[in-house]
Structure 1
């Protein structure tokens, strides 16, 4: 795609006169001593579309780094009242962070100021040239309108002096507004373009699909379309490269080549120019092009050129070193925000994790799942504090990632303007392919010469491990995982179940090979491992490879603010692979303050607390310490690792009074289907009554200990032929209504709902229950009981008495006692929105008080006391525990098994668990 050269620009008149006005303003400013020091904008006057930037820019400094105001110019045939003109000028002012603008059509001029509500209002009008009607008149009457231009400049200067007009910093403008504006206004047209190209190039389509499979979770909060997401990556690739090249000009002369990207060249030429910068001065990870980035439409390329020329015009390279560093940091923030990666590590968390992991800052440290580089930057920053020479901080830090784009952001993030000539140990490689002794090649940023480095053993590795679910692991990693899985089984006897183990479960065992003797590993994980079966296997297997020192979680808000993920930290020290020492103790820390709002002094206390394993300030952090033996003994009774952040040692006194819930109950999930419109008909239907079944479906409607159905379901176990023969037209018509409907991913319902042993439209009403509890309860933890076995939906765990000889009322009461509530809380873990993940699979592992150890008189009294509670709705846990009738009931249950002295401990543990789960909202 070639951009039209300047000789064929459609807006020739507007552009020519804009250049004249800019020149005239510069002449006017000489000797006036105004706060307005310069004018510019001629380099960003685009072709063929509305420019991203105003036609004229006024500056408060001669270096043109402080933008004061933008002017929008039109010929007289465009009315000064034209709504599109005003809207466009408003958009540009907002993008530049300005609170004023001027529009001028050579007949009239208007100054607009932004009011306190953010609305731009007319502040002054100039109308001394109303006789100028045509484009020809503009040239004829130039001597008449030029004085008005001077008056506008003087008036704007007055507003500037009084503070009514404010300036905009180039750093904030570039990173916070312009990059985002460029991406948002071009994303869809780039997506459309690459969609068309991919439709006639299957290799291209496959390449983007592979990319999407690896990165789609990074876009879940923003983009659900593969091509829109890739379009955003292309745009970020261009903007980041252009911004960085402009920023480093005064440090690397080769970067001045970026000035050559103007309206006369194509995207292909642009890539060639940037390749020349790589050849002469490196920064390969930043300047590397992403696949298909040349496939941008003409209008988008004009915006990209506009952006480059704006940076050239505004002398980005002339700004102070500290301001330039700030610009780089803000650029990284914008890139992260545009991608909205679920696991982009917050700066404070990266610093905290690095400091509690590294024992010896002199040793080589690495982040081999670098993402956008926050952790690597924290490592370098902490090293630099301790070394007189900054160079040592960089040369002893190693950074890699499987994918090129995160490395682009990471390289920008890590770049220190003061140390811009120091080569970085940064390379693109899958973590599973990194081996001690491997040679990597980097380039000198000074002259582009090749430098060879050998990957060492690391004193510490710190990483935010990628969360890739088992069914989305890339094919090129399967071979590595197969071997690691075998090694784990050979060394530990523990088998990681295929089809259930996520990518992060394998990475620490690979990193073990890369650590030096007694090396440290500090990783960030989702909290899901704390409450799942595979998480328990993961924890047990790690004990053979590492001494697990600390597990850290938040007790005050989520660490990852823009994602639902709840993070945990795991700190371990490498040991010789061997049986775990059952007396080795692990500290489970809860950070009691919002990590994003604590000060430097508090961070210091927090770091020292965990390093020294001492509770220095309970308001900042508390911990519970358990030996491996204690962990095994406690978790053998249905409690998850998640409970160990709290005091649960009292469980030792209760274990002889507990039995698996499976002794009395069969535990299963409710009926799981899909496509609610089919299976839950509206009231207005003609389905025969025999195919309608009452069902309990909505957990929010279940508010009592007595369960009742809340909706009707379509349950048909007959074939369509049988329905025809029976003349059951209502059911038949209902089924046929959905036969040709596709689900959300384009599959026809008869295929999407196909299930072995039944018709695609069939829902099994045999999924019945005596008792139910919600899969994801929140503040109310309880088990409800049906009067008779009843059909329940997949949103519930259903329980059936194994024998009629068991007293169902006593079972019901005991399940809802204080220990029963604690047991439900203790089988799961908190999700990002604060609800409990208490799946039916986990509830099968729950232990309950053994009703066989309760005497008949005690059983009768327990049921009597529970009947009092059953007469009201279930309350939130905190309110439940304040109810005198509830306390009397709970004490009676505990007294019946000789454990009444444990009431307060169970209560405190339950409330503490709930608080931690809810604090992440």
Structure 2
């Protein structure tokens, strides 16, 4: 690789660094050293300033960067100032100096984060050329000393702050390197893969597996892979420099310099692996050599910076801090949307593991947070770092997360202990299988057998059923059959997510009475599939605890709400219906929870006792209780709240389907054909009133907001009847043979949407703060996104049924039927909704019914209010209390109100 050297700037930078070092030796200043020579060898805009000042001789506390230019570059050049600003920010510095041998300027960051001019030096205006720099050296050198003295004054006065090498290495520079080079690398990979079909195919396989991790960040496969390539290089270079003091072979990292290529860099790192292992960290990402020259120079710059700053000489705790911060930066750059926060991993480990001396594992290790928590907790309790590592196992399907995981669990104090880490799909892990781990001291292989585990703790991969990789489908089919054979419960094909099957695989790897602690999506708490999952688990495990947040969300991704599930292995058998399950709400933000409260939370869940209600609340139900409650269309999600009052009124409620038929909303596949707004050529007799959305339904009554095209005649009949206007509309979406142009239409014949599916009542599939069912002024066609109902012919008093549906119990029935989405809305489905119950109108006297209808009429024609406000409304209270009084149970009013508000609070607290 040819490197063009910036000879003038480089040579004069070395001169200035040398001169500053000489002058510092005779002065007792806060500034102790100068450097920067090793990153001045390139032909592009460097990542680093030309000169670095340090507050310590060990060069671990960077004070300031200087940018040097020849006199022919104006000191006011905007690009120069912007570049110096960028470098200062990357290094975490709040000042910089620009010097062009004619003028000097000091810039200091103000309160708004902007860099502004603080001091100017001049007096050498006759230096105008590069030749003058040498001629008048004696004149400008004193100004350099003056700048140093001024900068020292600013340091003494606290106007200039130092930057810790820890943050600089693991945060600022990694991020800077990635942002500077991501698109360059992406472009290079795009070009190279266009010449190499196997490479393109390999990238697509990778993207199919990992695109979920990048959904909130990188939409483009090449940009995402470019970021992974850059992280692969920076992680390996950082790690090698960090462990040099403990593994001499890592000193070979110095051989990656401006004379080497990326391929040669990989070979140098291979030699480190051969002598000292850490293979998972040092493994090269495929195609990591496909990077442009400018990017490789930045990577070399980064390496040279670490070498020059002697990071191996800093304290062990600081080295550990670098490792941990590097992991955080890597996770942030990937933006793994389901990456486990350490605080959550720590809590989950402590409420799962019963015996810390036994082998524990995370077999969906990802970036190693849970494994790190296991090791930390073991080390504290069994007082042996070696045993902590030796009894902790981790694996993942993919190599790249294991690189970060290895860094995450590495302990600078215990670098010579082998790590039980291996790359395998969790479905392929078998007790007794042999794996080889490496001895970090000499790279020799150590064969180990996978044991039975006392505990497995994992954040199970959240892969939706329609995104499960092809190679996982066979495993899913296999375990689906096993579940059917052992439980009689059949998971619906094409509707179950990957995590639904994993506990049944992990069961095989646990010892007798072994514990499983998992993080999974909360969707299972409110769906039919989730109920089957819950029921099947009871054959394999004692379900000890389910934990959700009642105070802010655990994951940064707004779409994901997590639950913790604590299970204890049993002999596969019919569930004991008397066994109780604890449902916990955590009332503290786990990201900022104090140690005392965290201990209370852990002790509470472990002991199944409420110790402090401000920290955690528990509701406990036997499996028999749960079966009884859920038969009324109440989801598992409601069990975290006080719903024991249901026992008092269960004799006065009935399935909603006794009074209503559920109507299938229209799913046209091409709404433009059938949903009509404004003028049209269609004959009126083929237009029917339609409601597409509940978005604009504000009251208990609603009306159609458009017309639907519903034709029941053939093309020939339309021609015979002279329906030219209607034919014209059909031709708009068809060819000369009347075959449809859009191919996704769901009717046969394609233009014949039926007019028979008409609803009397509707509610939203995703209600938020307003819970109600609206009655339509006339029966209309509705869209699939609405839950639609029609009165049965047997209903004697529609007004009473409508009122009861909207009573306080009716609102509870809606809320209790679903589960909360990440945006805070309630998720309910048509299949789930048809199972809800309502107060039985046939058990209400005519006198009470008449009074209920009168009281409901007082609120029927106003806008529906948000739940909290709605429940405070005097007319609403009178109506609700009358409904409950009519069935002899007005005393449960406050209990239902409390349940409703509690459920909505939990649903909204995750926003």
TM-score range, shorter chain: over 0.9
Taking a change above 3 Å as real, the CA distance of residues 30 and 751 of structure 1, as seen in their structure-2 partners, is farther
Q: Aligned residue for 1:598?
A: 593
Bigger mean CA deviation after superposition, 777-786 or 856-865: 856-865
Q: Aligned residue for 1:745?
A: none
Residue 477 of structure 1, CA deviation? 2.1
Paired with 2:68 and 2:742, the residues of 1 have a C-alpha distance of 59
Given the alignment, which residue of 742, 747, 755 partners 2:746? 755
1:383 is aligned to 2:383:
no
CA contact (8 A) 1:664 1:806 kept: no
- 1:567-607 deviation line (CA, Å, top 9, x unaligned): 11111111111111110111111111212222111111111
Taking a change above 3 Å as real, the CA distance of residues 525 and 69 of structure 1, as seen in their structure-2 partners, is same
Residue 859 of structure 1, CA deviation? 2.2
Q: Aligned residue for 2:887?
A: 897
1:222 is aligned to 2:192:
no
SS of corresponding position for 1:589: strand
- 1:172-216 deviation line (CA, Å, top 9, x unaligned): 112221111111221122112212222232222221222112211
Bigger mean CA deviation after superposition, 386-395 or 41-50: 41-50
1:867 is aligned to 2:865:
no
Q: Aligned residue for 1:134?
A: 129
Q: Aligned residue for 2:265?
A: 270
Taking a change above 3 Å as real, the CA distance of residues 102 and 758 of structure 1, as seen in their structure-2 partners, is farther
Q: Aligned residue for 2:422?
A: 427
1:370 is aligned to 2:365:
yes
1:361 is aligned to 2:356:
yes
Paired with 1:181 and 1:129, the residues of 2 have a C-alpha distance of 35
SS of corresponding position for 2:617: strand
Question: Residues 412-561 of structure 1 correspond to what in structure 2 (within 5 A)?
Answer: 412-561=407-556
Paired with 1:165 and 1:720, the residues of 2 have a C-alpha distance of 82
Bigger mean CA deviation after superposition, 325-334 or 471-480: 471-480
Given the alignment, which residue of 277, 281, 288 partners 1:282? 277
1:177 is aligned to 2:177:
no
CA contact (8 A) 2:683 2:726 kept: no
Residue 671 of structure 1, CA deviation? 3.1
- 1:725-745 deviation line (CA, Å, top 9, x unaligned): 8267984797599xxxxxxxx
Question: Residues 607-626 of structure 1 correspond to what in structure 2 (within 5 A)?
Answer: 607-626=602-621
Paired with 1:249 and 1:718, the residues of 2 have a C-alpha distance of 82
Paired with 1:763 and 1:104, the residues of 2 have a C-alpha distance of 76
SS of corresponding position for 1:700: coil
- 1:693-749 deviation line (CA, Å, top 9, x unaligned): 654344332110011234567778899998998267984797599xxxxxxxxxxx9
Q: Aligned residue for 1:241?
A: 236
1:877 is aligned to 2:867:
yes
SS of corresponding position for 2:563: strand
Paired with 1:65 and 1:687, the residues of 2 have a C-alpha distance of 78
CA contact (8 A) 1:343 1:563 kept: no
SS of corresponding position for 1:232: helix
Taking a change above 3 Å as real, the CA distance of residues 534 and 118 of structure 1, as seen in their structure-2 partners, is same
- 1:474-527 deviation line (CA, Å, top 9, x unaligned): 222222222211111111111111101111111111111111111111111111
Paired with 1:577 and 1:127, the residues of 2 have a C-alpha distance of 85
Taking a change above 3 Å as real, the CA distance of residues 767 and 91 of structure 1, as seen in their structure-2 partners, is farther
Residue 276 of structure 1, CA deviation? 1.0
1:775 is aligned to 2:771:
no
Residue 561 of structure 1, CA deviation? 2.7
Q: Aligned residue for 1:79?
A: 74
Taking a change above 3 Å as real, the CA distance of residues 875 and 669 of structure 1, as seen in their structure-2 partners, is farther
Taking a change above 3 Å as real, the CA distance of residues 679 and 727 of structure 1, as seen in their structure-2 partners, is closer
SS of corresponding position for 1:63: coil
CA contact (8 A) 2:668 2:747 kept: no
Question: Residues 57-76 of structure 1 correspond to what in structure 2 (within 5 A)?
Answer: 57-76=52-71
Given the alignment, which residue of 645, 648, 651 partners 1:650? 645
Question: Residues 695-714 of structure 1 correspond to what in structure 2 (within 5 A)?
Answer: 695-710=690-705
Residue 887 of structure 1, CA deviation? 1.8
- Which ranges of structure 2 fall in alignment gaps of 5 or more residues? none
Bigger mean CA deviation after superposition, 21-30 or 286-295: 21-30
1:916 is aligned to 2:891:
no
CA contact (8 A) 2:588 2:615 kept: yes
Q: Aligned residue for 2:800?
A: 810
SS of corresponding position for 2:299: helix
Paired with 2:271 and 2:757, the residues of 1 have a C-alpha distance of 68
Residue 19 of structure 1, CA deviation? 1.9
Q: Aligned residue for 1:629?
A: 624
CA contact (8 A) 2:69 2:99 kept: yes
Bigger mean CA deviation after superposition, 717-726 or 78-87: 717-726
- 1:736-770 deviation line (CA, Å, top 9, x unaligned): 99xxxxxxxxxxx95574435254x8876665321
Paired with 2:713 and 2:73, the residues of 1 have a C-alpha distance of 71
Paired with 1:141 and 1:762, the residues of 2 have a C-alpha distance of 91
CA contact (8 A) 2:430 2:450 kept: yes
Question: Residues 100-115 of structure 1 correspond to what in structure 2 (within 5 A)?
Answer: 100-115=95-110
CA contact (8 A) 2:101 2:124 kept: yes
1:186 is aligned to 2:186:
no
- CA RMSD, aligned part only? 2.4
Taking a change above 3 Å as real, the CA distance of residues 232 and 758 of structure 1, as seen in their structure-2 partners, is farther
- 1:801-855 deviation line (CA, Å, top 9, x unaligned): 2326443222211110111110001110011111100122221221222223333
CA contact (8 A) 2:762 2:787 kept: yes
Taking a change above 3 Å as real, the CA distance of residues 905 and 265 of structure 1, as seen in their structure-2 partners, is same
SS of corresponding position for 1:699: coil
Question: Residues 143-182 of structure 1 correspond to what in structure 2 (within 5 A)?
Answer: 143-182=138-177
Paired with 1:534 and 1:514, the residues of 2 have a C-alpha distance of 25
Paired with 1:432 and 1:214, the residues of 2 have a C-alpha distance of 16
Residue 243 of structure 1, CA deviation? 0.8
Taking a change above 3 Å as real, the CA distance of residues 267 and 767 of structure 1, as seen in their structure-2 partners, is farther
Paired with 2:317 and 2:13, the residues of 1 have a C-alpha distance of 34
Taking a change above 3 Å as real, the CA distance of residues 565 and 720 of structure 1, as seen in their structure-2 partners, is farther
Q: Aligned residue for 2:341?
A: 346
Residue 34 of structure 1, CA deviation? 1.6
- 1:320-344 deviation line (CA, Å, top 9, x unaligned): 1111111111111111111111211
Bigger mean CA deviation after superposition, 824-833 or 45-54: 45-54
CA contact (8 A) 2:213 2:337 kept: yes
Q: Aligned residue for 2:39?
A: 44
Q: Aligned residue for 1:35?
A: 30
Q: Aligned residue for 1:400?
A: 395
Paired with 2:527 and 2:687, the residues of 1 have a C-alpha distance of 37
Equivalent residues, number: 903
1:206 is aligned to 2:204:
no
SS of corresponding position for 1:881: helix
SS of corresponding position for 1:654: helix
SS of corresponding position for 2:645: helix
Residue 161 of structure 1, CA deviation? 1.5
Taking a change above 3 Å as real, the CA distance of residues 598 and 331 of structure 1, as seen in their structure-2 partners, is same
Bigger mean CA deviation after superposition, 260-269 or 795-804: 795-804
Taking a change above 3 Å as real, the CA distance of residues 249 and 679 of structure 1, as seen in their structure-2 partners, is farther
Given the alignment, which residue of 807, 812, 817 partners 1:822? 812
Residue 415 of structure 1, CA deviation? 0.6
Paired with 1:679 and 1:14, the residues of 2 have a C-alpha distance of 71
Residue 347 of structure 1, CA deviation? 1.1
CA contact (8 A) 1:80 1:109 kept: yes
- 1:63-112 deviation line (CA, Å, top 9, x unaligned): 11111111111122211111111111111111111111111112211111
Tell me the TM-score normalised to structure 2 length.
0.95
SS of corresponding position for 1:649: coil
Paired with 1:794 and 1:499, the residues of 2 have a C-alpha distance of 20
Residue 653 of structure 1, CA deviation? 2.8
Taking a change above 3 Å as real, the CA distance of residues 711 and 13 of structure 1, as seen in their structure-2 partners, is farther
CA contact (8 A) 1:54 1:71 kept: yes
Paired with 1:829 and 1:561, the residues of 2 have a C-alpha distance of 19
